[in-house]
């Protein structure tokens, strides 16, 4: 199987990730932060180590500002529903995933107002449109760092500048970029950063997190046992306990730590370079094939390693089915949980065939994908 569905989840993971998870379960499978015995303490330290590694990667000063969640979606929900209140206005974009758009839609019922900035056909945002839409009651801007449909990279530096010049919070969905692109919450002045653990951070499914800058008033989504201030019926205010109730996903978080360690050891710039080279080559070769329509910027300097295409008017699910059955290539068709992005690029009916490249893909994988697309294009 040639796996080109890394935007959904990366596969495989580095061998160290599997090993770290098994080791954590077999060697210190206790409940971290609950009891005081050595196994529980060891589990607690292992979780803290992952916080430190992520802090290093994202230049976060205090590891306690990282909240572990079960996926990026939970982090986005926490940031969105924990911050926005009745009467607030929020600005987002037409390239967002349903993990941003659906919580915002749900908040309409309590009187939160959303402006969705329309991006262009390649998924690019005109940042002047953000500035134009700021109102008296605007509280936050939320954008993706890169579209999961077209890969289009967003100018998060510039958007952050607009946000802070106008006294707004800026929340970034790094689902497609964390682990491949430089993210520095300090220099980029990001207030809330949501990230999955199981995509380019190379950890297992079931992990993710959200960084929340100090000084932002966020209501927790869940209350429960935190192993701290157990005498009180009131959820503690201290971080990360306020937002992390119940037993954490120790093996998952330890695996995520191993993934981040792999990234830091390999060098994020080397990972990016490899993925960019494959993406560039893939786009170049696809352009030579008749009937292939490529969406997005078609320029690796402007996009994450996601390449979405269609073959003439062929249904994207049909093409993906053939890629799987005949060519043993895994991609993702359809709408990718991002309906407005597909409306933006004009593929709401047809969907697209999305190829997404990961660090463990090889030049040969790309060659095989090109060959497969060429053959399918011939047949239709």
Single residue of 261, 272, 274, 332 touching a second copy by CB under 8 A: 332
Of 255 and 297, which CB lies nearer to a second copy in the complex structure? 255
CB 83, min distance to a second copy, A? 15
Binding to a second copy by residue 72, rule CB under 8 A? yes
Binding to a second copy by residue 315, rule CB under 8 A? no
Is residue 249 a contact partner of residue 24, using CB atoms and an 8 Å limit?
A: no
Give dist(CA 96, CA 123) in Å, integer.
10
Binding to a second copy by residue 143, rule CB under 8 A? no
Of 133 and 317, which CB lies nearer to a second copy in the complex structure? 317
Is residue 84 a contact partner of residue 92, using CB atoms and an 8 Å limit?
A: no
Single residue of 64, 127, 239, 337 touching a second copy by CB under 8 A: 337
Binding to a second copy by residue 35, rule CB under 8 A? yes
In the stretch 157-196, what mask flags binding to a second copy with x, by CB under 8 A?
Answer: ---------------------------------------x
Binding to a second copy by residue 111, rule CB under 8 A? no
Binding to a second copy by residue 237, rule CB under 8 A? no
Single residue of 29, 87, 111, 312 touching a second copy by CB under 8 A: 29
Single residue of 63, 240, 257, 333 touching a second copy by CB under 8 A: 333
Binding to a second copy by residue 110, rule CB under 8 A? no
Binding to a second copy by residue 79, rule CB under 8 A? no
Span from 56-64, 135-143, 197-205, 367-375 in contact with a second copy (CB under 8 A): 197-205
Binding to a second copy by residue 8, rule CB under 8 A? yes
Single residue of 119, 159, 340, 370 touching a second copy by CB under 8 A: 340
Of 21 and 309, which CB lies nearer to a second copy in the complex structure? 21
Span from 139-147, 288-296, 297-305, 326-334 in contact with a second copy (CB under 8 A): 326-334
Give dist(CA 380, CA 319) in Å, integer.
10
Span from 118-126, 151-159, 338-346, 359-367 in contact with a second copy (CB under 8 A): 338-346
Give dist(CA 9, CA 176) in Å, integer.
10
Binding to a second copy by residue 223, rule CB under 8 A? yes
Binding to a second copy by residue 59, rule CB under 8 A? no
Single residue of 1, 264, 326, 380 touching a second copy by CB under 8 A: 1
């Amino acid at each position: 199987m040639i796996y080109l569905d890394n935007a959904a989840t990366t596969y495989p993971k580095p061998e160290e990730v599997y090993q770290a998870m098994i080791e954590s379960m077999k060697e210190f499978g206790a409940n971290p932060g609950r009891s005081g015995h050595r196994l529980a303490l060891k589990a607690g330290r292992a979780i803290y180590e992952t916080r430190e590694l992520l802090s290093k990667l994202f230049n976060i000063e205090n590891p306690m500002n990282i909240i572990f969640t079960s996926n990026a979606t939970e982090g986005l929900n926490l940031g969105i529903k924990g911050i926005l209140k009745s009467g607030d206005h929020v600005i987002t974009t037409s390239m967002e995933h349903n993990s941003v758009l659906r919580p915002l839609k749900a908040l309409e019922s309590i009187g939160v107002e959303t402006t969705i900035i329309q991006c262009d056909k390649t998924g690019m945002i005109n940042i002047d449109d953000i500035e134009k839409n700021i109102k008296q009651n605007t509280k936050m801007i939320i954008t993706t760092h890169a579209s999961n449909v077209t890969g289009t990279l967003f100018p998060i530096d510039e958007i952050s500048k607009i946000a802070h010049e106008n006294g707004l919070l800026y929340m970034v969905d790094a689902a497609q970029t964390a682990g491949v692109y430089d993210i520095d919450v300090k220099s980029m002045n990001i207030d809330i950063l949501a990230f999955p653990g199981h995509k380019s951070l190379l950890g297992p499914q079931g992990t993710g997190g959200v960084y929340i800058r100090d000084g932002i008033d966020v209501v927790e989504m869940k209350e429960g046992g935190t192993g701290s201030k157990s005498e009180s019926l009131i959820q503690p205010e201290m971080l990360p306990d306020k937002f992390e109730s119940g037993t954490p996903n120790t093996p998952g978080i330890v695996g995520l730590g191993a993934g981040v360690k792999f990234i830091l050891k390999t060098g994020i710039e080397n990972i990016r370079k490899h993925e960019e080279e494959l993406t560039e080559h893939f786009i170049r070769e696809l352009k030579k094939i008749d009937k292939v329509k490529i969406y997005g910027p078609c320029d690796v300097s402007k996009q994450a390693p996601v390449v979405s295409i269609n073959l003439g008017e062929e249904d994207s699910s049909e093409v993906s089915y053939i890629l799987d059955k005949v060519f043993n290539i895994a991609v993702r068709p359809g709408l990718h949980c991002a309906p407005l992005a597909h409306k933006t690029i004009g593929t709401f009916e047809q969907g697209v065939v999305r190829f997404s490249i990961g660090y463990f893909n090889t030049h040969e994988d790309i060659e095989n994908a090109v060959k497969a697309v060429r053959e399918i294009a011939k047949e239709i």
